[in-house]
Copies of this chain bind each other. A is one copy, B any other.
Amino acid sequence: VANTVKASPPSPAEDGPVEKGPLEPKRQRNPWGQGDRLRDEIIDGATAILERTGNESSITLRAVCREIGVTPPSISRFFTDPAQVIDLVVSRELGQMRDSMAAASEANNGDPVAQLFAVIRAVYDLGRAHPNRYRVIFERRFLPLWDEKGLVMTETAPLITESFGLVVSALTDCVAIGASTSTDVFADCVAVWCGVHGLVALPSAITTFPWPDLDNLLDKMVTRLTGLNPDAVATARKPSSQAPRRPAR
C-alpha cells in the first residue's frame, strides 16, 4: 500500500543489470528461410521429454515448446496434435533401430550365427539401454497409422519389415550352412522377436521381480527358439555386436 509504484511494466534496470544471460540459454531463432528446422527441433524436444519421463501423456504441444524454448503459436504451424509429434518420434526411433540392426548385420557378414545374435542383440541393447524410448516405439498402439480412406499410412511398417527381414535373412543363412534345424524360418523369427520383446519389456515394467541374468537368458532363448546347433553357437565369432557386449553398469 505504501510504495505502490504504478505497475511500471518495463522498468528495465531499476535494481541493477538483470543478468539473465547465462542462466537462460535463450534459444536463437533459425536463420531466414530455414524456419522448417523448427520441425526437427520439435521432434528432438519431444524425444527428450519421452526419454526423461517415459510417458506419452507428458507430451503436450506446450510442454515441447517449453522444452525447446519457443512459444505455443510457433508449434501450431507444424502440429495441431501431440499424437502427430509422437508418431514422428516413433518413426525416427524405428529408423535408428533398423540402422543399428543393419550395422550389426554388416559387421558380422560371413558368419550367419554371429549375425543372427548380433541383429537380435541390437534390439535388446536398445531396449535395455533406453527403456523409455523402447516403450514409446513398441507400446504405442495403432503403430500402423490409418488414414480416413482405410489405407495404411505408413512410414513405420516398412521400417519394421526391413528390421525383421534382417533376422529372417540371418536365420535363413544359418539353416543353409546347417547351423540351424529350423523348418519354419518365418515363424521362428517371429518367436524370437516376440521373445526379445518380452525380455526387454517385462523387466522394465516389473521392477520388484528377482530377474535372473537376462543377457545369458537372451542367448539361450535365441538358441532354442531358432533351433540353432549349440556347437555352431559355440564356434561363432563372439563379440557379436558393434557395441561393447555388456556395458558394465
Taking beta carbons and an 8 Å cutoff, which residues of A are in contact with B?
Answer: 54-57, 135, 138-144, 152, 154, 157, 160-161, 164, 184, 186-187, 190-191, 193-199, 201-202, 204-209, 211-213, 216-217, 220-221, 224-225, 227
Closest Cβ neighbor of A216 among chain B residues: B187
Instruction: Give me the 6 closest cross-chain CB pairs, A-B, nearest first.
Output: A194-B198, A198-B198, A197-B198, A144-B208, A57-B57, A195-B195
How near does chain B come to A120, taking the closest CB pair, in angstroms?
12
C-alpha gap A140/B206 in the complex (Å): 9
Closest Cβ neighbor of A218 among chain B residues: B191
Number of copies: 2
- 15 extra A-B contacts, CB within 8 A, seeds A138-B205, A187-B216, A191-B195: A56-B57, A143-B205, A143-B207, A144-B206, A186-B212, A187-B213, A187-B220, A191-B220, A191-B221, A193-B198, A194-B201, A196-B198, A198-B198, A224-B225, A225-B225
Give the dominant DSSP class at A's interface. helix
